[in-house]
Structure 1
Amino acid sequence: MNKIVLSTLLLSSLLCFSQEKADSTKVLKEVTVEGTRENKYKKESSTTVSKMPLKDIENPQVYNSIPANLLKEQVVTNFNDALKNATGVTRLWESTGRNGDGAEYYSMRGFAVQPSMVNGLPALTNTTIDPINIDNIEVIKGPSGTLFGSSVISYGGLINVVTKKPHQQFGGEISYNNGTYGSNRVTADVNLPLNEKAAVRINSAYTTEESFQDAGFSNSFFLAPSLKYEVNDKLTFLVNTEFYKNTSAKASMIFLSRYSPLSFDSMELFDKNYKKSFTSNDLTMNNNSFNMQMQALYKLSNNWTSQTVLSKSSTKTNGYYQYLWDSANGDEFTRYISKADGTFYTTDIQQNFIGDFKIENMRNRLVAGLDYYNSRLLNGGTGWAGYGVVSLVNGTDTNGVDLGGNPIPTVLTQAGVDNAIGSFAGNTEANQEIMSAYVSDVLNVTNKLSVMASLRLDYFDGKTSQYDGVETKGQVALSPKFGAVYQIVENKVSVFGNYMNGFKNVAPTTVADIDGSNPRTKEFDPEQANQFEVGLKTSLYKDIISASVSYYDIRVKDRVITDPNNINNSIQGGEVESKGVEVSIVANPIKGLNLIAGFSHNDAEVTKESPGDGYLGLRPEEAGPETLVNLWANYTVTEGQLKGFGIGFGGNYASEYKTLNRANTGTFALPDYTVLNSALSYDNDKFNVSLKLNNMLNEKYYSGWSTVTPQRLRSITAGVTYKF
C-alpha cells in the first residue's frame, strides 16, 4: 500500500476518536487539571481571519491554527518547522535576504506565498520570523483580497502571525536550547503588570547556528516589547513592536536552466554534492527589520467597537547575494553575485467599526473599514558579475585557468568578490499607494443558518513590482466575497460554502503594431482569481475533536499574455486552474494524547496562455507537490510517579514535485520524501526539559521552485526552560 493511501487511512481513523475537554487558559504557565482531558491544539475563535470575532464552526472560510504550546512540544526554533503543522503548506524557497522579497516562499493551494501579516496587518520581513513571540499562526486558505487587499496575499491564501499579548499576571520563562550543527538559542518571555490598568511583555531570542553543509551560518537577535493599557472600561491601547537583526552566510541557490533544454535527468549529481554549499562564511548578508503596531480599541456602545490601527515596517538589506545558473551541459553552473544595499518601508493605517447587533431578531456581525497602505522600496548596491564555475561532476569551484592551463580555484572572500563585481551601480526606487474601503456582514438567518457578504473597493497607484519600468495610475478593483454556513448540529457539525475573490494589480507594458510601428504604453485591468469551495467542519464530543474537510476550485483569469495575432502586443487572457481536497484534524482521543494532522491533494494546470510559452496543460512550478501529509502526536502522562513525562512523534510526507516543468525546456522532478521526527520531554510547574530529534532517518530531500535546494539532515536539540 503506498504512502498516500496509508496517510489517508490514518487521517480517516482519527475521526473515530472521542473524549471530554477541559477549558484552557492562555497564560505563560501551563495549567494541568486532574481528571480532565484537553484538546490543547484546538483553534479558538479568531478576530483576524474575518476581521471580527467568529468561531471556526461558523466561519465559511478554512484556516489552520498552529498554537504556541504545540511549538513548545516540538522544540520549534524556526518558522519553517512551525508551518509543517499546517495542512497543504510546504516551503519552496528558503530566505534569500533580498530587499523587497527576501522572505521564505511557501506553496499553498497551488500558489506561492510569503509570510506578510502580523495580527491581521501588513508586516515585513526579508529573512524569517522568530517563533518566540508567536501566540499562534493562522494559515488562511483561499484568495482573500476582499478583506486584506492585494499586497499581502496570494491566490492560495495568506499567513498571519498572532503575537503574544500582555496580561495582568506576573510570570515568565527563560529557555536554553543546544543542538547539532553548532546550534545555540537563548530565549526569554517575561510578562510584568505595571498596575491594574497596564502591563508590558517582552519576548527575546538570541540564536546562533551553522549549516549542515560545508559552509553557512546564521546569527540573529530578536526583541519584541509590547504594551497593553486599559485607560478605562471603554478605551484600550495595544502597542506591539519587533526588532530583528540577522547576519548570515547563505548557500548558493542552484537554478535549473529556464531557457535551454534540460541536461539533467536524475538526482544523482545533486545527491553527490548534498553537503556542498558553494559559498564561504566570508560572504555575509546583513538583514535588519522593524515592525510596530499601535491599536486603539474604543467601545462606542454595547454593540459597536472602534478599532484604529497604525502599522509601520522597515527592512534593511546589505551584503552578498549569489546563485548558480545552469550552463545546460549536464555538469556546470555559473555563479552570479552582487552586493546588495536596500531598504523597504511600509505604512498601513486602518479604521474599522465592528458591530454585533440584531435586526428583526436576526443577529448581524459587521465590520466596515477604511485602509490606507503605502510602501517605498529603495535599491542600491553593485551590478551582477559572473564569478566562478561549479562542476557537479567534480564537486569543484573554479574561476578560469592559469598559464599552464590548470584550473584556478574561485576566491570566495569579500576582497576577491569585491574586485570582481566592481563599483556602485546606481539607485532605483519603487512606490505603492493603495486606498481601500470594505464591508463584511455575517447574518444569522436562524440559529443554525448564517450567511456572509463582503465587498472591497481598492484604488492603486505606483509600481506593482520593483522590477516594473512604468508606474500604474489609478487602477481600481472590486473584490466580493460570499459564504454560507448551516450547522447541522448546532456548535457541533456545520456544512459551508464560499465564493472568494483575490486580485493583483497589473503593470502597464509597451506595445506596438505588428510591424513594430506606433509604440505606446498599454494599461490593463487587475488580474482576478475566484474560488468556489464547499466543505464540512466539526467540533465534536465537548470540543475534543475538531475537523474540516473541503473541496476548492480556484480559477485565475486576465493574466497578461502575448497577443497570438501580434507578437508586439499584449492582451489579458491567461488562465490557471487550481483545485483540490484538504482534510485537517485536531483531536484528544484519550487522556494525555493530543494530535494534529492534515492531508491535501492539489491539481493545478495552466489552461490558457500565449502560444509557445511552454506551460499550457502543465502544473505550475509554484504549485509545489500534489500531495502533502502532516502528523504530530504527543502523549503526556497526567498522573502518578511519571506525571509530566511526554513523548511525541510525527512527520511530513510530500509527493514528487516538478520543480521545473516547461514544454520548451523539459521537466525535472524532485523525489517524494517522508521525514520523521520525535521528542521526549518532562514538564512541571518550574521546569521543562526536552529532547527533539528531527529527520530521524537522515532522509535526503529537496525543496525548489525552478531550483534544487538540499534540506537539513538529521539533527538533535536539547532544551531546558525555567518558569517563574
Structure 2
Amino acid sequence: MSVSDTCAQTGSLNGQILTSDGQPAEFVNVGIKDLQIGTITDAKGHFRIKKVPAGNYILYVQLIGYSAIEQYIEVKGETTVPAISLKENAQVLQELLVKGNTNRFAQKESEYIARLPLKNMENPQVYNVVSKEIMQEQIVTDYKSAFKNIPGANSGVSHSSNGRYMNVTRGFNLGNAARNGVGTSSVAEIDPANLERIEAIKGPSGTLYGASLSTFGGLFNRVTKKPFDVFKGQVSLTTGTWNLNRLTADINTPLNDEKTVLFRINTALHGEKSFQDAGFSKTYLVAPTLSIKVNDRLSVLFDAELYGRKGTNIYGNTIASTNVQVSSIDHLKIGYRQSFTNNSIIATTRTQNLYSQINYKISSQWTSQTNIGNSLVEFEFPAMTLNTITDSTVTRNIWDQYTRQVATQVQQNFIGDFKIAGFRNRIVAGLDYSSVNFDFPNTRGAVYDTVNFINPGKRYAAISINEIKNKVAAVTVNSGSSAKYNYMGAYFSDVFNLAENLMVMLSLRVDRFDNKGSYSYTANTTTGLYKQTALSPKFGVVYQPVKEKVAIFANYMNGYQFVAPVNQPDGSVSNFKPQFANQTEAGVKFDVLDNKISATISYYDIKVVNQLRTDMERDPVNGNRFQIQDGNQTSRGIDFELIINPVYGLNILAGYAYNASKLEKANENVNGRRPTNSGAENTANLWASYRLTSGAAKGLGLGAGFNYSGEQFVINNSAREFTIPAYTVMDATVFFEQPGYRIGLKLDNLNNERYWNTSLQPQTPRRFSASVTIKF
C-alpha cells in the first residue's frame, strides 16, 4: 500500500483500543506503518496521532511480545476509526504490562485535578499520583505509608485517638478532606483497600476546591475503585510482625447480560498490636459501588464506605514547659517503646461515607456532572495526651469525649469542549455547597498523674480505665460545644489553545462562608457568628516546544482561609478579612521516549498575607495584647519528580523537595524564623523495582527504596528551639507474580531507624510482612 500523492492536506487519527472483554487497553503501541509514526494508548485506551497527511495507510496495533494487528485506514482531516478489540482480555493485558517495558508508575492522567479532560502535559499545575499498583508492590497496609512516594510529603501528624492522619507539603499542613473530588470527613482514619490512587495536588488550590478542601500547601484527593464490565476479583492475606493480620477482598461483576449494571465491593479486616509495651488496633471496611448506565446519555454511580475502628490511643506528646532543657526529641530519654497506656483504655470510631455521581451528556460538546457526598464520623473514647514538663517527667492528661461530625457537599459541574473561531476551549463551570456540623456534647478532661519516664516505677503501670472514668466524672466543667458552618461557591475555568502547542488557563472562584457559631453546653450561649466572602483567581500557561513531550509551564494560584472575629482586650470586636496565599510557579514537564521518562521540576513562591499577630505597641494594664492583621509568611522551594523505565522490567520513582519557609512579619519572638510544624527543609524519596520478564523465573521481582527527611522544628522562637532530628528510612521487598496469584515479602525500616513524627510519636521500627493474593 502506497501513500497518496496528494498529501498536502494533513489531519489526525483518533481511536480507542479495547480488550476482548471490552476494557480500555492502556500502554498499547499504535502506529502508521507506512509513515513510521505512532503513539501509545492512555488509561482509557484512547490514542491520537497528529499531522498525518491525507491518504491510505496500514494502521498497526501491537502488544509487547505479540504479533501486530494490521488494519487498512483512510485519513481525511480529523479521522476517527471504530474501536479496535484485541484478542487478549483485561487480565492477560495486565500480565503483559507487568512483564513488559511499561512505565508502570507514570499514571498521571486524571479527571479530578482540573475537573476537565486535561492531560498532565497540558496542565500548568504540579501534582503527584500514587497508584494502587505501587501500593500493592510496597505491601501498603495503612494509609500514611502510601505518602512515602510523594516528593515533599513529610511524616506528618498522626492522632491515634481517631486515626486521623495529616501531612506537610510546601510548608503547610494538609488534611485528607477530598474523596473523588468531593468533600468528606478529614478527621477519621482511612483504609487503603478501596483506593485506586492518591492524588497530591500541589500549591494553594482554592479556585476549584475552596477553603473547605484545600490548604495553602495543596490538597490530597483519594480516588476510590470503580466497577467495570467483567467478572474479576482477588483476595489477599497479609501477616507480619506485632501480630499484623489483614484480610482484603476485591470482587467485581456485571449484574445483567447487557452489562449496564455493574457492581464492585472492597472489604478489609485489619488487626495489629503496637511495637510499644501496650497498644492495639482492630478495624473493618466495607465499600460497595454500583454503576448504572441508563442509556447512551445518562449514567449513575453510587458508592459507600463503612469503616470502624476499636483500639487504644495516644494523642502524642507536647513540650510546653520551659523546664525542659534538651533541644531535641532524641536527647529526651523517654523510652522509645513506652506507651504510657494499657490495653483496657479503648476508643471506638465509626465512619460512613456515601457518594453518588450523575453524568448526563447534554450534547457532543457539553456534559453535566452532579456529585453528592455525605460523611458521618463518630468517636467515643477516653483518650490520653502526654505533656513533658521536665527532662525526666511527663503528665498524663485524660479526656472523656464523644464527637460527631456530619459533612454534606453538593457539586454541579458543566463541562464543555468546543471551538470558537478555530480556538479550542475546555471549560468547567460549577457550583459547590458544603455544610459541616460538629458536636462535642460531653468533653471533660483532667490530669491523671505525673510519671518519671526514666525511672517509672509502679506508678507507670498503675493506670486503669476505672480510675480514668472516676477522675473524669469528678470534673464539673463540661467544655463540650457544637458548631456549624456552610460554604457556597461558584467557579469557572477555561483552558484555551492560542496555538496547537500553546495553552492558557483562566479561572476564578467566589466563595461565601457562613459560620453559624459555636454553642457552649455549659454557658448555653452561641458565639463566633460571622460571614465572609473571598475571590480566588488562577492563571496558567503551558507551551510545548516538543508537542506532548516537553512542556514549559507557569502559574499563579490562590488559596484562602476564613478568619473569625477576635474579642480584643478593651472589649471591642475586630472583624478581619480572609487570609490569602498567592503562589507563582514555573517549571518544565517531560514525557519522552514513549513514556519511558516522565519528569517534573518546578520552582514555587508562596506568600501568605493577612495573618494575625500581636500588636506589641498596645499593651493594656491587664497584660493582654491586641490582635492585628498585617502578618506575612513566605514559602519558597523546588519540587522534583522523576519516573523512568530505562530497561525491560525496571521502574524507578524518585523525588526531591526543598522548602524555605519564613515568618516575615510576625511577633518579635518568631519573626524571621521557620514556622513550627512546617516540615523539613529538605526531603527525598526513591523507589526502584525490577522484575524478570522472560525465562523460567519470569514474574519474580524485587524492590527497594528510601525516604529522607531533614530536621524539623516543633518549637522555634527566640527563647528556645526543640527539633525532630533528620532521618533516613529504607524499605525492601521481593515478590513473585503470576496470572492467578501473587506472593510478596517486605521489610519496612530495614535499617531500624529511630524517628518521630511531629506529634513526637515514635514511629515503627523494623517490621516484616508477608502477603499472598489469589486472583480470579
TM-score where L is the length of structure 2? 0.85
Q: Does 1:552 align with 2:615?
A: no
Give the Å deviation of 1:38: 0.6
Give the Å deviation of 1:472: 3.9
Q: Does 1:340 align with 2:401?
A: yes
Is the 2:131–2:197 Cα contact (8 Å) retained in structure 1?
yes
The letter of the residue matching 1:325 is N
Task: State the partner residue of 1:496.
Answer: 553
Is the 2:528–2:564 Cα contact (8 Å) retained in structure 1?
yes
The 1:472/1:556 distance shift into structure 2, 3 A limit, reads farther
Of 606, 617, 627, 2:672 maps to 617
CA distance in 2, matches of 1:442, 1:421: 57
CA distance in 2, matches of 1:535, 1:73: 30
Is the 1:90–1:106 Cα contact (8 Å) retained in structure 2?
yes
The aligned runs of 1:458-473 (5 Å cut-off) are 458-462=511-515, 470-473=527-530
Task: State the partner residue of 2:81.
Answer: none
Is the 1:177–1:720 Cα contact (8 Å) retained in structure 2?
yes
Of 468, 483, 489, 1:417 maps to 468
The letter of the residue matching 1:685 is P
Is the 1:645–1:682 Cα contact (8 Å) retained in structure 2?
yes
Of 557, 576, 580, 1:524 maps to 576
Q: Does 1:80 align with 2:144?
A: yes
Q: Does 1:204 align with 2:267?
A: yes
Task: State the partner residue of 2:736.
Answer: 682
The letter of the residue matching 1:556 is V
Task: State the partner residue of 1:3.
Answer: none
The letter of the residue matching 2:468 is V
Task: State the partner residue of 1:474.
Answer: 531
Secondary structure in 2 aligned to 1:418? helix
Task: State the partner residue of 1:309.
Answer: 371
Task: State the partner residue of 1:66.
Answer: 130
RMSD between superposed Cα atoms in Å? 2.1
Give the Å deviation of 1:217: 0.7
CA distance in 2, matches of 1:566, 1:134: 52
CA distance in 2, matches of 1:459, 1:397: 56
Q: Does 1:254 align with 2:308?
A: no
Is the 1:96–1:127 Cα contact (8 Å) retained in structure 2?
no
CA distance in 1, matches of 2:457, 2:545: 64
Secondary structure in 1 aligned to 2:543? strand
Of 89, 105, 124, 1:41 maps to 105
Give the Å deviation of 1:126: 3.0
Give the Å deviation of 1:69: 0.5
The aligned runs of 1:370-409 (5 Å cut-off) are 370-396=431-457, 398=459
Q: Does 1:56 align with 2:120?
A: yes
Give the Å deviation of 1:97: 3.4
Task: State the partner residue of 1:723.
Answer: 775
CA distance in 1, matches of 2:671, 2:125: 30
The letter of the residue matching 2:226 is K
The letter of the residue matching 2:138 is Q
Secondary structure in 2 aligned to 1:420? helix
The letter of the residue matching 1:380 is P
CA distance in 1, matches of 2:344, 2:164: 22
Secondary structure in 2 aligned to 1:188? strand
The letter of the residue matching 2:723 is A
Bigger Cα Rg: 2
The letter of the residue matching 1:438 is Y
CA distance in 1, matches of 2:403, 2:660: 38
The 1:465/1:621 distance shift into structure 2, 3 A limit, reads farther
CA distance in 2, matches of 1:693, 1:450: 45
Task: State the partner residue of 2:380.
Answer: 318
The aligned runs of 1:187-336 (5 Å cut-off) are 187-195=248-256, 196-251=259-314, 253-257=316-320, 260=322, 262-267=324-329, 270=332, 273-327=335-389, 329-336=390-397
Is the 1:323–1:335 Cα contact (8 Å) retained in structure 2?
yes
Deviations 1:239-270 (A, max 9, x none): 1210100011124511111x636422354554
Secondary structure in 2 aligned to 1:214? coil
The letter of the residue matching 1:356 is D
CA distance in 1, matches of 2:373, 2:101: 40
The 1:595/1:469 distance shift into structure 2, 3 A limit, reads farther
Task: State the partner residue of 1:588.
Answer: 645
Q: Does 1:639 align with 2:639?
A: no
Give ranges in structure 2 of 5+ residues lacking alignment. Answer: 1-38, 46-89, 620-624
The 1:621/1:532 distance shift into structure 2, 3 A limit, reads same
The letter of the residue matching 1:307 is Q
The 1:85/1:410 distance shift into structure 2, 3 A limit, reads same
The aligned runs of 1:338-377 (5 Å cut-off) are 338-377=399-438
Secondary structure in 2 aligned to 1:324? strand
The 1:534/1:469 distance shift into structure 2, 3 A limit, reads farther
Q: Does 1:449 align with 2:507?
A: no
Deviations 1:17-68 (A, max 9, x none): xxx9787689677331598411111123211111112111110000000011
CA distance in 2, matches of 1:461, 1:604: 31
Task: State the partner residue of 1:90.
Answer: 154
The 1:224/1:125 distance shift into structure 2, 3 A limit, reads farther
CA distance in 2, matches of 1:411, 1:153: 43
State which drifts further: 589-598 or 381-390.
381-390
Is the 1:556–1:575 Cα contact (8 Å) retained in structure 2?
yes
Secondary structure in 1 aligned to 2:164? coil
CA distance in 2, matches of 1:105, 1:526: 23
Of 749, 753, 761, 1:699 maps to 753
The letter of the residue matching 1:572 is Q
CA distance in 1, matches of 2:231, 2:333: 51
The letter of the residue matching 1:411 is A
Task: State the partner residue of 2:196.
Answer: 135
Secondary structure in 2 aligned to 1:104? strand
Is the 1:593–1:633 Cα contact (8 Å) retained in structure 2?
yes
Q: Does 1:597 align with 2:654?
A: yes
Task: State the partner residue of 1:169.
Answer: 230
Secondary structure in 2 aligned to 1:579? strand
Q: How many residues align?
A: 681
TM-score where L is the length of structure 1? 0.91
The letter of the residue matching 2:686 is L
Give the Å deviation of 1:670: 1.6
CA distance in 2, matches of 1:152, 1:495: 28
CA distance in 1, matches of 2:533, 2:156: 31
Q: Does 1:649 align with 2:704?
A: yes
The 1:449/1:337 distance shift into structure 2, 3 A limit, reads same
Of 226, 242, 248, 1:181 maps to 242
Give the Å deviation of 1:488: 1.3
CA distance in 2, matches of 1:337, 1:552: 42
Secondary structure in 2 aligned to 1:421? helix
CA distance in 1, matches of 2:618, 2:761: 39
CA distance in 2, matches of 1:129, 1:521: 40
Secondary structure in 2 aligned to 1:31? helix
The aligned runs of 1:98-137 (5 Å cut-off) are 103-137=164-198
Give the Å deviation of 1:91: 2.3
Secondary structure in 1 aligned to 2:527? coil
The letter of the residue matching 1:365 is R
Secondary structure in 1 aligned to 2:450? strand
Q: Does 1:607 align with 2:664?
A: yes
Give the Å deviation of 1:75: 0.6
Secondary structure in 1 aligned to 2:155? strand
